[in-house]
Amino acid sequence: MDEPKTRAAKRAATAQRILEAAQTEFGEHGLEGATVRSIAQRAGVDPSLVIQHYGSKNDLFAIAIRLPRESTGDDVAGHLFDVLDVRLGELPPETRALVRSMLTAPEATEAMRDFLNERVTNLARAGGGDDADLRAALTVSSILGLTIARHFLRLDALAEISEPQIETTVRPWLTAALDEDVRPAR
């Protein structure tokens, strides 16, 4: 990789290294366990540069946990399968940091709630029906539970999941709640 040549490019590269180090630290230790010093050490910079670039550990955390906004689009099942593939694979550092801290850091709780509410709204709009919000919330909650069980609790059955199992068991399970035609008669 080419070294940045201008002062602005070097500053941007340093800020990016700090952000990536922070995402990893927050992902491994949560907001409470990560320190400015450990973030700086991982980024290979002086701790004062962390503060200079991001203000405070809490400000850096708020930036480090931002998740990319996704569009559900018309292909709801395809979108859910894409999300599932990401959640079953190696988690992006910002997702790991957010999930690890969501129950202990108010900033993470709010960020996760906002993100998931947006996902529920988009999914319900795409699915439609009388109880679309509830079905969407159950689906989104299931994906969150799957993420926690696989990456943080490391449940054995999820650690060893195979592609055929994903195809024949997980994907149908994931989309079943969204399909109004699959529900039993009352």
Same domain, 45 and 111: no
Q: Lowest mean pLDDT of 72-76, 153-157, 170-174, name the range.
A: 72-76
pLDDT of amino acid 17: 94
The single-letter DSSP state of residue 6 is S
Picking from 48-57, 67-76, 78-87, 169-178, which range would have the lowest pLDDT averaged per residue? 67-76
Summarize the confidence of residues 98-106 as an average pLDDT.
87
In a shared domain, residues 90 and 149: yes
* 137 and 96 in a common domain: yes
* Number of domain units in the chain: 2
Q: CA distances (Å), 24 to each of 29, 33, 91, in order?
A: 8, 12, 11
Q: Does residue 70 fall inside a structural domain?
A: no
Highest mean pLDDT (candidates 88-97, 121-130, 143-152): 143-152
Give one DSSP letter per residue of 28-63, joined into a string.
HHHHHH--HHHHHHHHTS-HHHHHHHHSSHHHHHHH
Q: Say if residue 122's pLDDT is above 60.
A: yes
For residues 57 and 92, state if they share a domain: no
Q: Do 175 and 105 sit in the same domain of this protein?
A: yes
Alpha-carbon distances, residue 72 vs 83, 125, 167 (angstroms): 10, 9, 20
Does the residue 56 lie in any domain?
yes
Let me know: does 12 contact 19? Beta carbons within 8 Å. no
Query: How far is 28 from 169, CA to CA, in rounded Å?
Result: 30
Residues 87 and 142 in one domain: yes
On whether residue 111 sits in a domain, the answer given is yes
Are 55 and 91 found together in one domain? no
d(CA 142, CA 148): 10
CB 51 within 8 A of CB 45: no
Q: Which residue is it, tokens 């962390």? A: 50
| Measured CA distances, 110 to 99, 130, 142 (Å) | 12, 28, 19
Together in a domain, 54 and 91: no
Domain of 158?
Answer: 76-182
| Residue 121 maps to a domain | yes
- To 5 degrees, how large is the angle CA 179–CA 76–CA 62? 120
Residue 152 is assigned to a structural domain of this protein: yes
